[in-house]
Structure 1
């Protein structure tokens, strides 16, 4: 008799476990909009969930530690005039999140570390450029303030959130509705799927499709026959892909290897209730002391339940083989560097001592002066007047005025920060 050779892998025994009841987030009115996004986004500080809201679109942001029953009057992030369809945390600033809506706009929000008293209604910036609903958002993995959006107009727009400008618009690549968009590791290429059943690899800066209509797949994995949307999550550190079926009640996971048969089924985590959506924690937000290699946030109709994937180990020591250096919160490039053609891999950090999120960092938007790019309206000045050099006295007066205004703005910002800190102390004192 021949003995079956068992494939060696440290991930063969990965198992999933739902968090205890007191670690879930209860009484959340999860959105009922029929859209294919995950409806949930999470980072090491916050959990964000798209919720039902009258008179427009909204999502709720909770500190990770605020588990249990959520007060029905808990402040929301609300400003869209139609349902929110997708949300995505900035990978380089844990206090910044973008939202996309049926109202054709994208809004970028600054979330404070303290719990606000009222709903957040003023975004840092509103990005307008799509002609139909915007249903897909994805931040660039290595360049600061670069955000991708895709809409029902079959257009992909890449923005510089720091200035509010459109960096690139890819408007002739997809003949039908775009279903998903994903960056590669260094953000040099995009992979998209479309209603025309074609997978495209796109170089966005060249505006070219560099590969599509692939030949035979390297591996074919038969799934169940349900017609729900599959939400894939890939962890490059472990080479594991997790497939979560929307409307399904299971998470299937597979290890990807470089040798045939390339895709190896590991296991399935199943629970009783179907998932309405799913959030996936970045690796830096995991508990390395418990050998967590993935953590999901599963949306039910009225709650969110964490699900932890763990590799069973007996040792209490840091497991180097499970936790290679992983992308941290620092960008590797500025937006204009990336646009000019530069590429850079993510800036990696070690998880040996665990990860502590940095304190609140504000995103500042500097809009380009519209007068720099457009001729002034109104009656045109004479040639001699418009070209006349400013006197030294006039220049000095303008510079003094600018300096005084800057000092005034800085004083007001310090005053705002002081009031926010006082408010935070008052709120903490009444908890």
Structure 2
């Protein structure tokens, strides 16, 4: 009679617990979190939450260091003319976030380290190319400034945010609405799920589907019978997948291995209140001194509640087995290198001494002069005085002057915000 071998795992006893009340972001009276927002976007500096705002599109950015009650006049990031459907922080710049909207555009924003006094209304760049709502955006994991968007027009578009250009358009690959998109580790391939019930692995640079609708799954795990949207989060460093159901009140987590049966159930975190959405902190934003291996940000109607997952250890020393080197904030490639066919592994960093977020790094967009791509104009038979004055050099001078004025306005805006912050401190008696 054979004896069943129980697999032992260092993650067998992973404990999840909510943080203390004063460490939540609560009483968010600006507006309710939208039901369309299935998650919030999190990085080591900020948490961003999509909100409803007068029929337009907006989201709120909260510094992780500032918790507690959120003022009703807290500034928003606004600019879209229709609801925001997706947001994603740039993996290579903690102060840059992209947003996708029902208004068919994608906008990229620079978020200051200080809390602005007014709404942020001017994006760094607006990306226009979709003909219908844009529901999905995701940054390339290793190439600088490469962003992918998927819209209701069943198109995938890759952008160079640094120039505001469209790099690639992937059409005729999906016959129905695209549900989700994910890159592989190096960004050489991407996988999509679609309403037509097909899973596609795509090589974007060759613009072709390399695999589609696999015949048999290597493992099948039945979760429950509810029809809520399932939100999966995968940690490649620990090979743990966390499954959160929208409208559910639990988080189930499993370890993935290369040997059969491949999927190993670990445990379930349960709470009393259901989640409207969920965010997942990148590994470099965790507290390694407390053996924290995952941190979620659970969206309620009027609060955002962090939930930490820890592996209890008796020693206070750094746990090497829990924290292998992880992808850091530096890109491994430039956009042009990736487009030319080059691939690279992410640049890894050690978490031994903890991760300290970098200071605000400005994203500069350098647009190419469209006049350089136009053929020379054929001389006309007659020229008016107005036509002669409006020559190509004068137009370039005008564009340069507009750029200079815009930089001056942005500098003055920052100076005004700094002064308002100082005045606010004096008014509150904190300075």
For structure 1, which segment, 182-191 or 3-12, has the greater mean C-alpha deviation from structure 2 after superposition? 3-12
Tell me the residue number matched to 1:72.
Answer: 72
2:309 paired with 1:294: no
Tell me the residue number matched to 1:30.
Answer: 32
CA apart distance, 1:425: 3.7
Tell me the residue number matched to 1:17.
Answer: 17
Q: 1:157 to 1:67 in 2, by over 3 A?
A: same
5+ residue gaps, structure 1, are 384-394
* 4+ residue segments displaced more than 6 Å: 400-416
Q: 1:295 to 1:25 in 2, by over 3 A?
A: same
The Cα RMSD (Å) is 2.7
Tell me the residue number matched to 1:230.
Answer: 230
Tell me the residue number matched to 1:217.
Answer: 217
Tell me the residue number matched to 1:135.
Answer: 135
Name the CA distance, whole Å, in 1 between partners of 2:331 and 2:13: 34
Name the CA distance, whole Å, in 2 between partners of 1:224 and 1:270: 14
Write the mapping of 1:169-180 to structure 2, written as runs, cut at 5 A: 169-180=169-180
Name the CA distance, whole Å, in 1 between partners of 2:34 and 2:404: 48
2:330 paired with 1:327: no
Tell me the residue number matched to 2:249.
Answer: 249
Name the CA distance, whole Å, in 2 between partners of 1:140 and 1:328: 13
- Superimposed CA distance per residue, residues 246-292 of structure 1 (whole angstroms, 9 cap, x where no aligned partner): 11111110000111101001011111111111110000000000000
Name the CA distance, whole Å, in 1 between partners of 2:255 and 2:17: 19
CA apart distance, 1:426: 3.6
Q: Is the 8 A contact 2:87 2:99 kept in 1?
A: yes
The residue matched to 1:337 in structure 2 has which SS? helix
CA apart distance, 1:374: 2.6
Tell me the residue number matched to 2:389.
Answer: none
Name the CA distance, whole Å, in 1 between partners of 2:19 and 2:406: 47
Q: Is the 8 A contact 1:30 1:303 kept in 2?
A: no
The residue matched to 1:142 in structure 2 has which SS? coil
Q: Is the 8 A contact 1:30 1:299 kept in 2?
A: no
The residue matched to 1:61 in structure 2 has which SS? strand
Tell me the residue number matched to 1:380.
Answer: 378
The residue matched to 1:202 in structure 2 has which SS? strand
Q: Is the 8 A contact 2:117 2:417 kept in 1?
A: no
**Number of positions where the alignment pairs a residue of Structure 1 with one of Structure 2:** 416
TM-score (norm 1): 0.90
Name the CA distance, whole Å, in 2 between partners of 1:263 and 1:181: 22
Name the CA distance, whole Å, in 2 between partners of 1:421 and 1:357: 21
CA apart distance, 1:23: 1.2
Name the CA distance, whole Å, in 2 between partners of 1:250 and 1:360: 36
Q: 1:430 to 1:147 in 2, by over 3 A?
A: farther
TM-score (norm 2): 0.90
